[in-house]
Amino acid sequence: MSHHHDSLLARQDPRLDISDLYVFRGDRGTVFVLNINPLSGTGGFHDDESLYEIKIDTDGDGVEDITYRFTFAPIAFAPFSTRGSQRWELRRFDGAAARDRDAAGTVLLRGVTGEPSELVRPAGDGPGGEADGGLRAWAGQAGDPFWIEGTVVTAVKTALADGTAPDLADFDPRQAKNLFADTDVQAIVLEVPDADLAGAQQIGVWGVSVLATDAGGWRQINRCATPLLNTLFVLEDADRHIDFNATVPGEDRERYGAEVQAAVERGAAAVGAVADPAAHAAHVRDLLLPDILRYEVGSKAHFGWEQRNGRALTDCTPEAMFALVLGAPVSMGLDASAATGVPRDVFPYLAPSKAER
């Protein structure tokens, strides 16, 4: 799985579990998709002192310069037509405020889950004075666009942990199955005019979920950017030396670089497809850390083995990550047709939920 149920706290409350992050070019601007609460037919978003944030680094230093923050609330005395829906609000934070969870920010949009958003700030009142025709957001239930084969990902994860080649002797690609076939997520979709990204040609993006603490502060529950990073490198049956969910990207290389490098070197050496496993591992460490999804604004997104630029909804990210860390391709026997539903060409881009299909 990508980041599905990747921490104890996320498993305790799946409404705070970020499964995947996507960044790609939309009809009007740059699209950010944050998928939450995987395997969820119901449940919605956490609406009690919780935050869902899309973090954007515009200058390449691994620190957020812009934060888009979504909060959710129940609808009191909701009519039958909106029963089970939630209200949401989107705020934007810039500069130092992007890193301050107690800052007020600027309210941009409001809406109800499953329905179009309501523009709050007047057209022409954007960060650069530009018109706001491209700013829109949507939140609600949708088909999970991610797909993966359980036998294959387990074999690759074991190879990295044990320093062995992936054992797929008993795997029959003709019997391959997507672990998340016909399942839904709760999705946040945000489309931002390119001019709203502070003139940046390339951005770095990650998503977080945050919960208020009894002591009055905030606790980060999940952090997600590169697909499968937690799945491949965090061992559930060992001391959690790697815990991306508890830290920020700027700390990644110092905290986790040595362990990621050692795991890649073990796996690549066992597979034997690269001439210098140590050099390969150091290169992969620098590609993966800090854990930020980088995207060239305005370009076509693609997350692949040889090149990674954002992430499109139909990219086969598991095979890209397998090949990247092991230095050789590993096939799952699946393609985009194994995903839940077919992504839409128009906003909000994700496939409809099971109830709508």
Please say whether the beta carbons of 301 and 295 come within 8 A.
Answer: yes
**Residue 290 preceded by cis peptide, ω within 30:** yes
**pLDDT by 10s per residue, the chain, length 357:** 444 444 556 567 899 999 999 999 999 999 999 999 998 767 899 998 999 999 999 999 999 999 999 999 998 655 544 557 999 999 999 999 999 999 999 999 999 999 977 666 544 455 433 445 679 999 999 999 999 999 999 999 999 999 999 999 999 999 999 999 999 999 999 999 999 999 999 999 999 999 999 888 999 999 999 999 999 998 655 555 788 998 999 999 999 999 999 999 999 999 999 999 999 999 999 999 999 999 999 999 999 999 999 999 999 999 999 999 999 999 999 999 999 999 999 999 999 998 887
CA distance 228 to 303: 12
**Amino acid letter, 45:** F
CA distance 312 to 349: 11
Q: What is the pTM of this model?
A: 0.92
pLDDT in tens, 279-293: 999 999 999 999 999
